[in-house]
Structures are given as structure tokens and as C-alpha cells.
Amino acid sequence: MNPMADMFDFNKNFEQFSKFTTPDFANAAPFKAFNDMAAKYREVAVEALNKNVELTTAWMNAAAKDATTLMTVEAQPTAYAKKAGELAQAAFQDLPARLFAYAEVAKKAQTELFDTVASATPKFVEEAAERTKSATKAAAKKAA
């Protein structure tokens, strides 16, 4: 074979280049770690969503009960105003507790995600260092 012809064999060169630059991550540890992390994120998000739906449903049930109370027939028009005022005052007093419940759900989700990332970071750094060393050795062998 002519060495000059081999040098310009673009298919062969491109194939070698693509193997060097894009390793197979399908079965590699980083891909598995990413999938594990994404699964944990999904789990936390779904849990938070379900809790928020539960809180919202309870709030809407209370609002429906209050609306039913407001719609009862009264003999005096001032009785409606009195009921509306009492319900509004109760709602405003209840509002901070309801919002705090949503904040607790968000805080719990953030804490769980932070703990997941914090526990995984040392493993990722260690695996990345090992992969970098092995890739550097492989590249040095190919270059030599």
C-alpha cells in the first residue's frame, strides 16, 4: 500500500478520529450516574407535586365550604355583610399558615436535591479523575 494514499483515506481517518473523540458512554458509569440523578430528581418533583395538589385541594374544599356558608339565605341584608367580613378575616388569618405549608414542601424538595448532589459529587469527581487518567494514558499510547 502507498502511505500517501493511506494518509488521504478520509473514511479511515474519520473513523479513527470519531472513536477517539466520542467514547461509548452507553454502558459507562457517568451515564448511569446521570440517569440515577435524573431518577432522584423526578422522584422528588413528583412527591412535591402531589403534596402541592393535596394542599391546594384542601384549600379549595375550605373555600367551597365558606362559599356555601355565604350563600345561605338571610333575613337581613346586614347579615350577609357580617358573614362576608368574618370569612374574609378568617381567610386572611389562615393565609400565612397555608403559604408556609407550600414553602415547607419547596424547602423539603430543595433539601433532598441538595443532599443528593452533595453525596454524589465526591463520587463524580473521583470517577472523572480516573477516566481522565485512563484517557490520557490511552491517548499517549496511540500517539507513541
DSSP calls for 106-136: HHHHHHHHHHHHHHHHHHHHHHHHHHHHHHH
Is 118's pLDDT higher than 90?
A: no
Which is more confidently placed, 66 or 128? 66
The pLDDT-based confidence of 141 (bands split at 50, 70, 90) is confident
Q: Return the top range by mean pLDDT from 3-7, 105-109, 138-142.
A: 105-109
Are 30 and 127 a contacting pair, CB within 8 Å? yes
Q: At 128, phi and psi to the nearest 5?
A: -65, -40
- Domain extents in the chain: 28-143
- Name the residue among 37, 18, 20 with its Cα closest to residue 29: 37
Q: What is the model's pLDDT at position 28?
A: 65
pTM recorded for the entire structure: 0.62
Q: What is the model's pLDDT at position 116?
A: 83
Residue pLDDT, tens place only, 29-79: 667 777 788 888 999 999 999 999 999 999 999 999 998 888 888 888 899
Q: What is the mean pLDDT of the chain?
A: 82
The pLDDT-based confidence of 119 (bands split at 50, 70, 90) is confident
The pLDDT-based confidence of 102 (bands split at 50, 70, 90) is very high
Are 47 and 105 a contacting pair, CB within 8 Å? no
Tell me the longest C-alpha to C-alpha distance in the chain: 108
Is 90's pLDDT higher than 70?
A: yes
